[in-house]
Amino acid sequence: MKFEEFNISDSLKQAIREKGFEKPSDVQEQVIPVALQGKDLVGKSKTGTGKTAAFAIPLIENIRRGQTFSALIITPTRELAIQVKTEIASLSNSSGIKVVAVFGGESVQKQIGLLKIKPEIIVGTPGRLLDFIGRGNLDFSKAGFLILDEADRMFDMGFRDDIEKIIGSFPRERQTMLFSATMPETIKDMVDRHLKEDKIFFNLSEDDSPVDEVEQYYIMLNRNQKIDALQDIINWDNNVKTLVFCRTKRTVDWLEKQLSRRRINAIALHGDKRQSARNAILNKFKNMQGGVLIATDIVARGIHVDNIGHVVNFDALDETETYLHRIGRTARQGKRGIAVSLCSNVMELENLERIGRQINAEISELR
């Protein structure tokens, strides 16, 4: 199937072509036709599957230009809000539909100013959304579309009550789409209470999982050998980007300095940096030829950067979900990628082997 076959406007098809999209991902092929019909839906879907376009394309097609605050997409983080807003804007340029992102860490007055352009689509994080609803800057009483992106992540971050309040500001008659990498009972309960009885469920996490496209390796070494090993991985192909994950902000900053001393073009990203600085860092990384981004798990979900060929777990980890979200930054949209975990003791290796068994993946030793 091709995007040309969807029942959407010619201008939207043109925007899709300009982005270089030809064939929809499995998620897009299943979700878009149902969403275009206005049905409520629940998608169990990991990142890296084209999920954003899956809900953005029907949204742009079904929204009427000039209907202010027609749609809301709730995201767990500022980074994901910016990414979703950018994706929607790139698809809606020719339609005249406006989209604005609101989130903490940036000027309230600046974002209030953006709302004065009367955008049809709002993307935002729960805290800032509730703030603006309380101030009267946002009014969703006549909105027709609500999308919860990475719902499990928002629940994990303690936003459950905030989300309930935001949903309460919407009319009962609306289209609701919920996407989540996992489906715990708390999410199922919300789905039962807030989505229509004829909602459609999609389990998109297995067949379209990016893990299958990632070659996964580990290296056993002493801690003082890690930087040499990382440099070797970076040098495998200087034309692809490398994303390096560390456990702490302190290690991120330290590693950036160590790589810079070796004349490796590396930049650091973590939660201590101001939002404007984080945005600038991500944009710089996106525009680099190759390059290295060193980060904490703040960017492990929802950040879409093209041409990340290598993901390196500089610090070992023991959570399966975190591992999946880290390596999911590579091998996106059908491309292949490589993930390497640096293990410095038997316990770290045993944890990695356990993760491999849980996700049914072969993680081979790299010598």
Instruction: Give residue-wise pLDDT tens across range 62-120.
Output: 999 999 999 999 999 999 999 999 999 999 988 999 999 999 989 999 999 999 999 99
Domain end (from 184, 203, 222): 203
Ranked by mean pLDDT, the top range of 114-128, 175-189, 290-304, 319-333 is 114-128
- The chain-wide mean pLDDT, for the chain, equals 90
pLDDT grade for 357, boundaries at 50, 70 and 90 = confident
Looking at the structure, tell me whether residues 253 and 162 fall in a common domain: no
Q: How far is Cα 286 from Cα 214, in angstroms, rounded to an integer?
A: 20
CATH of the domain at 57: 3.40.50.300
Looking at the structure, tell me whether residues 305 and 256 fall in a common domain: yes
C-beta atoms surrounding 117 within 10 Å: 9
Looking at the structure, tell me whether residues 138 and 277 fall in a common domain: no
In the prediction, which pLDDT does 208 show? Answer: 40
Looking at the structure, tell me whether residues 294 and 255 fall in a common domain: yes
In the prediction, which pLDDT does 46 show? Answer: 66
Average pLDDT over residues 291-315: 82
Domain end (from 203, 224, 254): 203
Q: Give yes or no for residue 304 having a pLDDT over 90.
A: no
Residues with Cβ within 8 Å of 204's Cβ and at least 6 positions away in sequence, in order, are 26, 27, 30, 31, 43, 44, 45, 49, 51
| pTM score of the predicted model | 0.64
Q: Looking at the DSSP assignment, which residues form a beta bridge with residue 178?
A: 42, 148
Average pLDDT over residues 118-130: 97
Q: How far is Cα 300 from Cα 329, in angstroms, rounded to an integer?
A: 7
Q: Give yes or no for residue 334 having a pLDDT over 70.
A: no
pLDDT grade for 207, boundaries at 50, 70 and 90 = very low
Q: How far apart are the first and last CA of the chain?
A: 42
In the prediction, which pLDDT does 48 show? Answer: 58
Q: Give yes or no for residue 21 having a pLDDT over 60.
A: yes
pLDDT grade for 329, boundaries at 50, 70 and 90 = confident
Looking at the structure, tell me whether residues 309 and 356 fall in a common domain: yes
Q: How far is Cα 148 from Cα 96, in angstroms, rounded to an integer?
A: 24
Domain end (from 177, 203, 229): 203
Q: How far is Cα 74 from Cα 187, in angstroms, rounded to an integer?
A: 15
Looking at the structure, tell me whether residues 319 and 195 fall in a common domain: no
Q: How far is Cα 124 from Cα 106, in angstroms, rounded to an integer?
A: 12
Q: How many domains does the chain have?
A: 2
Looking at the structure, tell me whether residues 147 and 199 fall in a common domain: yes
| φ, ψ dihedrals at 30, nearest 5° | -85, -40
Looking at the structure, tell me whether residues 126 and 253 fall in a common domain: no
In the prediction, which pLDDT does 146 show? Answer: 98
Looking at the structure, tell me whether residues 140 and 241 fall in a common domain: no
Looking at the structure, tell me whether residues 275 and 140 fall in a common domain: no
Looking at the structure, tell me whether residues 196 and 297 fall in a common domain: no
Q: Which domain holds residue 350?
A: 210-365
Looking at the structure, tell me whether residues 352 and 269 fall in a common domain: yes
Ranked by mean pLDDT, the top range of 31-45, 269-283, 295-309 is 31-45
